[in-house]
Amino acid sequence: MIKVEPLTAQQSEDELIRNAQHDAQAFKPIYEKYFKRLFLFILHRIGEKELSADLTQQVFLKALGNLARFKIQGAPFSAWLYRIAINECNDYFRKSKNARLVVLQDNHLDLLFEELTDENTVDDLKRRLPLILSKLNAHELQLIQLRFFEERPFKEIGNILGTTENNSKVKTYRILDKMKKLFLAK
């Protein structure tokens, strides 16, 4: 059995993963490192604390159950966890038929506003954005959330979604073009 020591600066995440692949008890530092981030990630999509906590637990159960098959390939381990979290959220929405939740904050609206138009006011965007977002499919909405509402770089988005940085960028700008057309269509 591997003794679990507190995470030190010298101990790399790869070492933690390798240890956890052989001993489930060694998964604890990984769980502690990512729990809060994944919980908040899921909460921003689900909107209910208890349900988000349950789904976060499911993410870690699935991660632990599949950890032996995880291969360290240069992409961050967190991207794998976020991919599992996205799948859990998508499964929840598919099974429950609940509407997807998008948390809008003014600073996020400003980022989108800069991308969508120079002519209309922020108030007009705030008023119409929920309708525009409702016209996006789940994958499109996911990209917009990751890029503009969570302010993640394209490289991280690519890692989370299992695509390249360039592919994430191209898809995001295509979605922005779609949103701009919807916004300007009045």
Of the two residues 106 and 7, the one the predictor is more confident about is 106
Given a cut of 90, whether residue 76 has pLDDT beyond it is no
Say if residue 82 is in the same domain as residue 117: no
| pLDDT score recorded for residue 7 | 47
Is 2 domain-assigned?
no
Does residue 21 sit in helix, strand or coil?
helix
User: How many domains does one find in the chain?
Assistant: 2
Q: Give me the CATH number covering residue 39.
A: 1.10.1740.10
Closest residue by Cα to residue 65 from 21, 35, 104, 8: 21
121-179 tens-digit pLDDT:
667 777 888 888 889 998 898 899 888 888 889 999 998 888 899 999 999 999 999 98
Q: Are residues 57 and 111 in the same domain?
A: no
90 and 114 in a common domain:
no
Give the residue carrying structure tokens 């700008």. Answer: 173
Q: How many residues does the chain have?
A: 186
pLDDT value of residue 9: 36
Q: Are residues 136 and 86 in the same domain?
A: no
> What contacts 24+ positions apart, CB below 8 Å, involve 72-79?
72/14, 72/17, 72/18, 75/159, 76/13, 76/156, 76/159, 77/13, 77/17, 77/30, 78/34, 78/37, 79/156, 79/159, 79/160
Q: Sort residue 151 into left (φ over 0), alpha (ψ -120 to 50) or beta.
A: left
Q: What is the mean pLDDT of the chain?
A: 82
Beta carbons of 60 and 31 less than 8 angstroms apart: yes
Give the domain extent around 73. Answer: 13-96
CB 38 within 8 A of CB 52: no
Confidence tier at 72 by pLDDT (50, 70, 90)? confident
Domain presence at residue 150: yes
Is the whole-model pTM more than 0.75? no
- Residue 18's pLDDT band, with cuts at 50, 70 and 90, is confident
